[in-house]
Structure 1
Amino acid sequence: MNPDLDFLLAHLARSHVTGGTTSSPPTEEFLRRLAEQLGLHSHDLFLLVGRPLPEGALDFDRTAGSWVSVLVQHALPLPAADRERLRARARAMAAAPRPVRSTEPPAPLPSCAPGFGPLLVRMLALRNLNRTAAAEVMCLMSDVCKSPSTIAMVRDGVKELDAELLDGFAAVLGVPATVLAALTGVRPSEGSVAPAPGIVDVAGLIWEVRHLTEAQVRGLSDMAEEFGRK
């Protein structure tokens, strides 16, 4: 990884450990630019430094998250052109006015213990993935197959990150494990490589469907399944 990015990540990681207090807190624009270079999203880095998330960031249809693994299962084997068609459709859906769901405020992110394992679980929660959906998607995208209870243990700080889990989280986030290694201090597995283009595409698709309704995610899953039959 670029040594400059490695240094910046280490600096942000220290601010996370100390509760987000640094001599010069990073600006929103800096976080957005850094996130783009890393292949993460600015909201991920907002979590890292304790910055409030933008309004609407947690406006999820919680039942839709349980269908993301079905969408991923159908999208992974597709050729690049079909994956891009799915992503374009998801972006169009996300750009349209959101259906009125409830007058209640969005549910907060799950409470997590301090540490980088819990932080990564919160990053997946930003993608509308609860512990069950996270475990299913991680298994499909990385062959790192853990139970929902294991994800919950990472969330609660009971189970520490290791190289295998780092690979699993990296795949779902669509970034090289070395990025997360620089952030967390966990040594990546031997021979760890950047995720394949198809994994990166599907990680992008997961991000793009996070605000969609259950019916919309199911519709995209049907679309992906139909592509696979051709």
Structure 2
Amino acid sequence: MEFPSFGVLLRRLLDHRQLDVGSLSHAAGVSEAELRDVVDGRLPGADLLRALAPALKLHPADLFVMACQKVPDELAPLDASARRYVKYLVGYALCLPSDQRFDLRWLVRELPQEPRRQPYVPRKWFDPHEAGAGALVANMLYANRNLDWSTAAEVLALCSNGRMYVSASTVVMIGGGKAELTPHRLADLSTLIDMPAGDLAAMTGIPLPDGSPPEDPAADDAAALLWDVRRLSAQQVWQVAVRAEEMRYALPDDAIARRFRWTGPFRISRHPPNDRDS
């Protein structure tokens, strides 16, 4: 399977946004000639991808995925073992009112940056040339948002309010090109990866379904929080998740507006992780 080059994906995105190469080169502060070469098929360099990200309002790491290039360590999640706490954090955050979700993100921003102890290894990396658009989206999930098989399925169900309630194996099969990335699935996945559904549809060539998913500020905030905690260690993510749990259980059950909630053992361990857990 021949997957479109980064230049093709970029051209589709620009066409969808009704932008031209000259406008993007000016906004990104890069050579228009260099950018046109990339649109015409030349492989983009790392510096160009970093420069384009803020101009496109996309994460630099996601541009590396779009270019089928390894995400540099400094742009990758800090601690692979932190993924075990993500489903708790997202589940609790979705139940909170907007001001408390803001407080959680503020807590994350205030936590100090710890040094990287080892290179980040994603749970899985899919080859878009073999699996197509499903691989592109799955790599944004597994490699850039520090998710594993089961966590990805659970967080998808939570952030879609139950619309995308699939098994962990189905998510893996989507990434491997063995299960269809349908328009409805694409729309729900776009929420989790914090990317406008129209952008993702334009790049992948998969049309959006009739009737967009309802606006869901809680899911948007949870997806942003998922991105924010990439820079944290497992112990720091555990700390944030414990705080989110305390905030959630301080609310009466009838104050929770979410129609769909994960029904598993919704309690996080009160014992912080240590180096041996990593």
Q: Normalized against structure 1, the TM-score is what?
A: 0.80
> Computing the radius of gyration over CA atoms, which structure comes out larger, 1 or 2?
2
Is residue 2:100 matched to residue 1:119? no
Is residue 2:53 matched to residue 1:32? yes
What is residue 171 of structure 1 aligned with on the other side? 191
Once the two structures are aligned, what percentage of the paired residues are identical?
33
Of 17, 20, 23, 1:5 maps to 17
What is residue 110 of structure 1 aligned with on the other side? 124
- More contact order relative to length (CA 8 Å, sep ≥ 6): 1
Q: Where in structure 2 are the equivalents of 1:152-163 lying within 5 Å?
A: 152-163=172-183
Deviation at 1:107, TM superposition (A): 1.7
Deviation at 1:23, TM superposition (A): 4.8
Distance of aligned partners of 1:7 and 1:60 in 2 relative to their CA distance in 1, 3 Å threshold: same
Is residue 2:106 matched to residue 1:91? no
Of 12, 28, 43, 2:61 maps to 43
Is residue 2:236 matched to residue 1:216? yes
Deviation at 1:168, TM superposition (A): 2.3
After TM superposition, where is structure 1 displaced by more than 6 Å over at least 4 residues in a row?
none
What is residue 197 of structure 1 aligned with on the other side? 217
What is residue 12 of structure 1 aligned with on the other side? none
Where structure 2 has 5 or more consecutive residues not aligned to the other structure, the ranges are: 1-12, 21-37, 252-278
Q: Which amino acid in structure 1 is aligned with residue 54 of structure 2?
A: R
Q: Which amino acid in structure 2 is aligned with residue 74 of structure 1?
A: Y
What is residue 15 of structure 1 aligned with on the other side? none
Distance of aligned partners of 1:227 and 1:29 in 2 relative to their CA distance in 1, 3 Å threshold: same
Instruction: Render the CA deviation track for 1:178-223: whole Å, top value 9, x for unaligned.
Output: 2211111112121114742222211110001113222222221221
Q: Is the 8 A contact 2:153 2:166 kept in 1?
A: yes
Of 89, 92, 114, 1:74 maps to 92
2:75 is paired with a residue whose SS is coil
RMSD: 2.9
Distance 1:57 1:28 in 2: 12
Distance of aligned partners of 1:131 and 1:166 in 2 relative to their CA distance in 1, 3 Å threshold: same
Distance 2:140 2:61 in 1: 8
Q: How many correspondences in the alignment? A: 214
Distance 2:55 2:95 in 1: 31
Q: Which amino acid in structure 2 is aligned with residue 219 of structure 1?
A: Q
1:129 is paired with a residue whose SS is coil
Q: Which amino acid in structure 1 is aligned with residue 200 of structure 2?
A: L
Q: Is the 8 A contact 2:80 2:120 kept in 1?
A: no
Distance 2:147 2:240 in 1: 17
Distance of aligned partners of 1:181 and 1:166 in 2 relative to their CA distance in 1, 3 Å threshold: same
Deviation at 1:44, TM superposition (A): 0.7
Q: Which amino acid in structure 1 is aligned with residue 64 of structure 2?
A: F
Distance 2:116 2:198 in 1: 40
Q: Which amino acid in structure 1 is aligned with residue 193 of structure 2?
A: L
Distance of aligned partners of 1:130 and 1:120 in 2 relative to their CA distance in 1, 3 Å threshold: same
